[in-house]
């Protein structure tokens, strides 16, 4: 709830960052029409407003300057029986053509007998009436904000008024008090449910102004470090155009619905974050597949059809959960399973879903010693720190056990959600599954160091902790300060923007990894692609093969080395490799490279893929790439310089941020469209783990690097 006595009204009086419903940062600041020397830049505003320990989710700051006078008028709303607080700010003038019929409609429906004004029922202004009107339709749509807003704005008969037609035809007029041309019948607004921002604009913008660009009712946004700012009056990096609806979630990617008033619901979007991925091999004969579905638009699925080959084998209902699962059991040794997930609703099936594929391992000499199942278990916990989660019994190779995970945090955070995946074989298959005791994937709060104790109730004492860094397995036993006991491991970890983190412990014998790969990169020079990779250790590594593909699909890859590239055998010392791809490449194309290690028994392990764009001319870095992508830095580990490579696609800007394991920002720079090589000199920094993030309008990726002095 709003605490009006603790809002903060100046830089000296900053208020309480937990008071998230409304936060006034001061008159004549960056957020108001103040003089330039009184405005706060975004980096100052974000430092003042955001407290990283409390992670304030929504900050609303608004100072009204209108013909009727100056002041502040955000509104809050609570649905009866729901503890969620909604907040709303209107930027425009409805006029009586819209305000009167909406107010009469709410009165006739008995709305005001249930929900009253924030101020005085007899003195509501158009902003609050619009908020009440929208919330009625949100409630009618069971709390679905996008569906509720869409239905509210597209009504054609509200007390005899065509709301949609009125909003589609704002009226230009000259305001002498504001000193410029503007429009009425404007319902621009910014709305929040405490986790997401929702933005709508019906006033004309530069590209579609029928008479005058409505600069007085501008709406725009920008992403700055951890802080997303939405602003009226002054335009930021990205303009919200007329009739656009924008959703900015607290976590995840921004989502836009253009021409929102004429939007027609379509089949649902694709499922994402499929497990296992399409390169999964050597899996056991029972596999629990899972996928995520984040509903942020009107395309709500009714359910998910699961196919094995051409046959539909399951139909799983949509329940507003994020993660869904299906078990493939009774599989045969060496069986290749093609499967796909098809979200569907009353508007049809999702069109052309990607087909995924995994392969069951060959029958081992001693099947009883090989892990027998991959098990997904979700536990969502909200409560106080520390949290101890007990998981259902699963087979971890030593019989059925009841694993537990203990979390504790370095921050004072008291409420959090944890999603756990525990299995006897990791998401990304290991070369030696018999040397793996268990893997587990917690979803950790960002920027907080978390101490985890994973007790898998085994009888063996592990001595290796592995982490999947989204391209290779890395040995983090030392980096995470891991300690081991009989059947458990305790370690510290900070998750930065990744979400799910996958870890593996060995069974107390040999490591499940023959190779600990610390970097795998590609460059283009002297007319040829150059592949580099570095190992931190190798065990019985006979050598390497390199494959190239025109996509990320392993089915299209070809081997490009004639002879096996010799490995280092068994060593605990770092080893560097370099290979030149002498096959023809086409300029302007992107190729994907895979790296395969081969041990002395013939067992193989596949790493990658990583992309390489072939420029149109040698050394040309100003070619506009087709995608925004963050690549792996090289070298890694490094001392003291490393090269961070990334692409920013046409008509987009991106921000590169480097921060330490505590979440403290080391540097931030913005880059325009093009291909970039950024060299970071870390000689002023201490040894340790660092993270680098590339963030644009529709892309966000975080990678890790290690400085060793």
Collapsed DSSP state (helix, strand, coil) of residue 413: coil
CB 565 within 8 A of CB 519: no
Question: Any residues with CB less than 8 A from the CB of 88 and at least 6 apart, and which?
Answer: 74, 75, 76, 77, 127, 130, 131, 134, 189, 190, 191, 192
Mean pLDDT over 345-368 rounds to 78
Least confident of 80-84, 251-255, 596-600: 251-255
- For residue 254, give Cα distances in angstroms to 223, 249, 270, 407: 10, 6, 16, 30
Share of the chain above pLDDT 70, in %: 68
Parallel, antiparallel, or unpaired for β 575-580 and 528-549?
Answer: antiparallel
Rounded distance between C-alpha atoms, residue 104 and residue 127, angstroms = 15
Q: Summarize the chain as % helix, strand, coil (round to 5).
A: 10, 40, 50
Q: Residue 34's closest CA among 182, 329, 180, 233?
A: 233
Residue with tokens 């931190």: 536
CA–CA separation, 36 and 29 (whole Å) = 9
Residue 562 pLDDT exceeds 80: yes
Q: What is the pLDDT of residue 67?
A: 53
**Sequence-separated (6 or more) residues with CB below 8 Å from residue 389:** 379, 381, 404, 405, 406, 407, 418, 420
Structure tokens at 469: 């860094």
Q: At residue 245, does pLDDT exceed 90?
A: yes
Query: Is 506 a residue whose pLDDT tops 80?
Result: yes
Strands 303-308 and 171-175: unpaired
Count of other CB atoms within 10 angstroms of residue 269:
17
- The more confidently predicted of residues 484 and 660 is 484
Please tell me the distance from the alpha carbon of residue 641 to that of residue 643, in angstroms, as a whole number. Answer: 7
pLDDT at 59: 55
**Can you tell me the distance from the alpha carbon of 503 to that of 438, in angstroms, rounded to the nearest whole number?**
9
Dist. CA 318–CA 271, nearest whole Å: 12
For residue 82, with 0-12 CB atoms within 10 Å meaning exposed, 13-18 middle and 19 or more buried, which class applies?
A: exposed
What is the full DSSP assignment across 169-199? S-EEEEETTTTEEEEES--EEEEE-SSEEEE
Sort residue 586 into left (φ over 0), alpha (ψ -120 to 50) or beta.
beta
State the sign of the Cα–Cα–Cα–Cα dihedral 194, 197, 201, 206: positive
* Interval 419-471: pLDDT, tens: 555 655 544 556 666 677 777 777 666 666 777 888 776 677 888 888 876 65
Rounded to 5°, angle at Cα 284 from 282 and 289: 95
pLDDT of 98 above 90: yes
Of 369 and 333, which is predicted with more confidence? 333
CA 90 to chain centroid, in Å, comes to 29
| DSSP label of 8 | -
- The β-bridge relationship of strands 528-549 and 565-571 is antiparallel
Q: Give dist(CA 663, CA 693) in Å, integer.
A: 12
Phi and psi at residue 44, to the nearest 5°: -70, -45
Give the Cα separation of 287 and 329 in Å (integer).
6
Do residues 22 and 63 make contact, with C-beta atoms less than 8 angstroms apart? no
C-alpha distances (whole Å) from 127 to each of 162, 168, 411 are 19, 18, 38
Of the candidates 31, 34, 32, 4, the one whose C-alpha atom is nearest the C-alpha of residue 19 is 4
**End-to-end CA gap in the chain:** 50
Confidence of residue 285 (pLDDT cuts 50, 70, 90): confident
Question: pLDDT tens digit string along 366-425?
Answer: 555 544 444 444 444 444 455 566 655 555 555 555 566 666 655 544 444 555 556 555
pLDDT of residue 470: 63
Token pair for 192: 């929040």
Tokens at 524, concatenated: 């283009």
Least confident of 114-118, 208-212, 318-322: 208-212
Question: What angle in degrees, to the nearest 10, is found between the helix axes of 145-153 and 126-140?
Answer: 120
Q: How far apart are CA 456 and CA 88, in angstroms?
A: 48
Res 20: pLDDT? 38
pLDDT for residue 51: 46
Q: Count CB-CB contacts under 10 A for residue 124.
A: 21
Tell me what the pLDDT averaged over the chain comes to: 75
Q: What is the chain's length?
A: 709
Helices (H) and strands (E) in the chain, counts: 5, 48
Nearest to 553 by CA among 327, 292, 173, 279: 279
Location of structure tokens 């002054």: 234
Tokens 């499940």 belong to 512
Where residue 499 falls among pLDDT bands split at 50, 70, 90? low
Taking residue 289's Cβ as centre, other Cβ atoms within 10 Å add up to 22
User: Which secondary structure element, helix H or strand E, spans residue 128, and what is its range?
Assistant: helix 126-140
Least confident of 103-117, 290-304, 346-360, 406-420: 406-420
Burial class (CB in 10 A: 0-12, 13-18, 19+), 392: exposed
Is 491 or 168 the better-scoring residue by pLDDT?
168
Q: Is the dihedral of CA 581, 584, 590, 593 positive or negative?
A: negative
Sheet order of strands, 85-91 included: 75-78, 85-91, 188-192, 196-200, 245-249, 255-257
360 HSE (CA, 13 A, CB side): 22
Nearest-angstrom CA–CA distance, 635 and 623: 24
Question: Tens of pLDDT along 468-486?
Answer: 766 567 778 877 888 998 8
Query: Considering the entire predicted model, what is its pTM?
Result: 0.48
Lowest-pLDDT range of 271-285, 364-378, 497-511: 364-378
Q: Which residues contact 298 (CB under 8 A, 6 or more apart)?
A: 146, 147, 150, 257, 263, 265
> Mean pLDDT lowest for which of 418-432, 522-536, 548-562?
418-432
Instruction: Verify cis geometry, omega within 30 degrees of 0, for the bond prior to 386.
Output: yes
Cα separation, 521 vs 689, in Å, equals 19
C-beta atoms surrounding 339 within 10 Å: 21
């Amino acid at each position: 709830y709003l605490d009006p006595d603790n809002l903060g009204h100046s830089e000296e009086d900053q208020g309480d960052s937990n008071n998230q419903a409304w936060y006034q940062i001061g008159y004549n600041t960056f957020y108001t029409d103040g003089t330039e020397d009184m405005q706060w830049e975004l980096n100052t505003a974000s430092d003042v407003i955001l407290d990283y320990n409390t992670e304030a989710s929504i900050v609303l700051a608004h100072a009204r300057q209108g013909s009727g006078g100056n002041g502040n008028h955000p509104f809050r709303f609570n649905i009866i029986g729901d503890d969620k607080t909604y907040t709303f700010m209107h930027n425009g003038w409805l006029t009586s053509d819209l305000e009167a019929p909406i107010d009469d409609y709410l009165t006739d429906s008995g709305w005001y007998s249930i929900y009253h004004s924030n101020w005085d029922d007899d003195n509501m202004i158009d902003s609050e009436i619009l908020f009440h009107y929208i919330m009625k339709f949100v409630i009618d749509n069971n709390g679905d904000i996008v569906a509720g807003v869409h239905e509210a704005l597209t009504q054609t008969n509200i007390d005899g008024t065509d709301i949609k037609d009125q909003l589609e035809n704002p009226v230009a007029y000259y305001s002498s008090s504001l000193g410029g041309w503007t429009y009425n019948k404007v319902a621009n607004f910014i709305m929040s449910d405490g986790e997401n921002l929702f933005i709508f604009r019906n006033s004309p913008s530069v590209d579609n102004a029928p008479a005058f660009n409505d600069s007085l009712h501008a709406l725009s946004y920008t992403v700055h470090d951890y802080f997303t700012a939405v602003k009226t009056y002054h335009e930021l990096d990205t303009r919200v155009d007329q009739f656009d609806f924008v959703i900015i979630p607290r976590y995840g990617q921004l989502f836009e619905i253009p021409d929102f008033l004429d939007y027609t619901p379509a089949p649902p979007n694709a499922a994402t974050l499929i497990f296992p991925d399409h390169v999964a091999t050597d899996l056991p004969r029972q596999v629990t597949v899972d996928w995520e579905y984040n509903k942020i638009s009107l395309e709500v699925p009714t359910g998910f059809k699961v196919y094995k080959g051409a046959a539909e084998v399951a139909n799983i209902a949509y329940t507003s959960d994020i993660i869904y699962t299906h078990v493939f059991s009774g599989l045969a040794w060496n069986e290749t399973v093609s499967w796909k997930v098809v979200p569907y609703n009353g508007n049809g099936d999702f069109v052309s879903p990607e087909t995924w594929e995994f392969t069951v391992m060959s029958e081992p000499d001693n099947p009883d010693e090989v892990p027998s199942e991959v098990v997904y278990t979700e536990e969502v916990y909200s409560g106080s720190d520390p949290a101890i989660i007990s998981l259902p019994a699963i087979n971890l190779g030593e019989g059925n056990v009841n694993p537990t995970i203990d979390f504790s945090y370095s921050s004072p955070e008291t409420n959090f959600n944890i999603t756990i995946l525990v299995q006897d074989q990791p998401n990304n298959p290991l070369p030696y599954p018999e040397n793996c005791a268990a893997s587990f994937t917690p979803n950790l709060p960002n920027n907080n160091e978390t101490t985890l104790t994973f007790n898998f109730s085994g009888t063996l004492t592990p001595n290796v902790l592995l982490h999947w860094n989204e391209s290779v397995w890395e040995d983090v036993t030392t980096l995470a300060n891991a300690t081991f006991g009989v059947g458990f491991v305790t370690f510290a970890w900070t998750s930065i923007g990744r979400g799910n983190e996958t870890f593996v412990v060995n069974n107390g014998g040999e490591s499940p990894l023959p190779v600990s790969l610390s970097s795998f990169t590609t460059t283009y020079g002297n007319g040829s692609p150059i592949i580099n990779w570095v190992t931190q250790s190798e065990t019985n590594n006979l050598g390497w093969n390199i494959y190239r593909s025109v996509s990320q699909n392993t089915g299209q890859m070809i081997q490009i080395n004639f002879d096996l590239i010799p490995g280092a055998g068994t060593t605990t010392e770092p080893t560097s490799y370099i290979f030149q791809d002498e096959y023809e490449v086409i300029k302007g194309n992107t190729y994907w490279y895979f790296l395969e290690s081969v041990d002395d028994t013939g067992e193989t392990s596949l790493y990658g893929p990583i992309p390489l764009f072939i420029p149109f001319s040698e050394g040309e870095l100003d070619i506009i790439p087709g995608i925004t992508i963050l690549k792996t830095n090289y070298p890694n580990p490094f001392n003291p310089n490393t090269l961070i490579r990334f692409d920013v696609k046409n008509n987009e800007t991106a921000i590169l941020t480097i921060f330490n394991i505590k979440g403290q920002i080391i540097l931030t720079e913005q880059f325009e469209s093009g291909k970039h090589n950024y060299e970071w000199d870390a000689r002023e920094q201490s040894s340790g783990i660092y993270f680098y993030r590339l963030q644009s309008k529709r892309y966000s990726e975080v990678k890790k690097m290690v400085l060793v002095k």
